[in-house]
Amino acid sequence: MVGQEEGKDMGFIQNIKEEIKIIRERDPAIHSDMEVFLYPSFKVMIYYRIAHKLYIRRHFFLARWVSQRAVRKTGIEIHPGAKIGKGFFIDHGNGVIIGETTVIGDNVTLYQGVTLGGTGKEQGKRHPTIGNNVMISTGAKVLGSFKIGDNSKIGAGSVVLEEVPPGSTVVGVPGRVVKRNNQSLPQEELDQVSLPDPVQEDITGLKRSNAELTNHLLKLEDELRELRRRVNTQNSKG
């Protein structure tokens, strides 16, 4: 009996060590391990692990009580039924919502205001499955029971309503794939700034087309003037 309790304590302590390691690796603003204990991401994951254990043992009321307590303390709502892999990190975190049937792979990073939710029309598996090495930027919404493929980036403010292939970059409302390379993303590449802007790309394309059309019209005007000059010259000779 004592051995079992020690094993549980060691598991809990190991989880704490892992959370400290993850947060220190991902957030350059932290200067000591003690600072980690102040972070909402650290606090909410401790609450989540307790709530999730209660949930899988079918203590649903207690599980929700623990998770709601976490919401009040951190501003982050993780349903105790969600399944979360290793290396999970929430940067800042306020306003993050993770639904009951969400499945999150390893080494996933979320920023503040992210929603992993349902559409309200589905039964059973209602929430998204997030692959490994995925970054979901500030304010993005992923809604529905589809998968975000491994090594993908979801741009800030995007609303994703359908499956995303591995190695993709998604931006916009509704979200659309603007880049796909299927390459693993090192952690230092997981920033929410260096993402394509499809609206700006469309504007740039329109400007380019407008410039080409203008040049073509100017060329036609020059040819028309030359044609008139020749006609006038022939008429004067005649």
Give residue for tokens 């892992």.
18
Q: How far apart are CA 39 and CA 53, in angstroms?
A: 22
The pLDDT tens digits for 183-232 are 544 544 555 555 555 666 677 778 888 888 888 888 888 888 888 888 78
Structure pTM? 0.69
The pLDDT tens digits for 63-98 are 999 999 999 999 999 999 999 998 899 988 889 999
Question: How many percent of the chain have pLDDT more than 70?
Answer: 85
Where do the structural domains in the chain lie, given as residue ranges? Answer: 2-196, 197-238
Q: How far is CA 18 from CA 14, 21, 46, 64, 89, in A?
A: 6, 5, 11, 24, 11
Tell me the CATH number for domain 2-196.
2.160.10.10
